[in-house]
Amino acid sequence: MAGLELLSDQGYRLDGRKASELRKVQARMGVFAQADGSAYLEQGNTKALAVVYGPHEIRGSRSRALHDRAVINCQYSMATFSTAERKRRPHGDRKSTEMSLHLKQTFEAAVMTQLYPRSQIDIYVKILQSDGGNYSVCVNAATLAVIDAGIPMRDYVCACTVGFVDETPLADLCYAEESGGVSSLALALLPRGGQIALLQMDARLHQDHLETLIEAAMTACKGVSKVLDEVVRQHLQEVSVLTGE
Partner 1 sequence: MKDTPLCNCERDFLLKAIEEKKRLDGRQTYDYRKIKITFGTDYGCCFVDLGKTRVMAQVSCELVAPKDNRPNEGIMFFNVELSPMASPAFEQGRQSELSVKLNRQLERCLRNSKCIDTESLCVVSGEKVWQIRVDVHMLNHDGNLMDAVSIAAITALCHFRRPDVGIQGDEVTVYSPEERDPIPLSIYHMPISVSFSFFQEGTYLLVDPCEREERVMDGLLMIAMNKHREICSIQSSGGIMLLKEQVMRCSKIASVKVSEITELINKALENDKKARKAGGRCGFAESMPQERITALKKDKTAVEMTDVSERANEIVQKAEALPQTVPSPVVPVPGVGQVGQGPQNTWGLDEEEDEEDSDEEQEEQVTKMEEEHSENKEESRGGEVVEISDSEEEEVVILHPEKPDRTPKNTGSTSHQKVAASSKKRTKK
Footprint of partner 1 (CB under 8 A): 94-95, 97-98, 101-102, 105-106, 108-109, 185, 190, 193-208, 210-211, 214-215, 218
Rounded (5°) CA angle 24-30-31: 75
Least gap, CB of 87 to partner 1 (angstroms): 14
Nearer to partner 1, 21 or 108 (CB): 108
Residues in the chain: 245
Cβ 36 vs Cβ 142: under 8 Å = no
Q: Is 3 left (phi over 0), alpha (psi -120 to 50) or beta?
A: left
Nearer to partner 1, 28 or 104 (CB): 104
Nearer to partner 1, 152 or 194 (CB): 194
Rounded (5°) CA angle 125-109-77: 15
Least gap, CB of 101 to partner 1 (angstroms): 6
Which residue type does 240 have?
S
Least gap, CB of 183 to partner 1 (angstroms): 8
Q: Give dist(CA 222, CA 229) in Å, integer.
A: 10
Least gap, CB of 188 to partner 1 (angstroms): 9
Nearer to partner 1, 38 or 96 (CB): 96
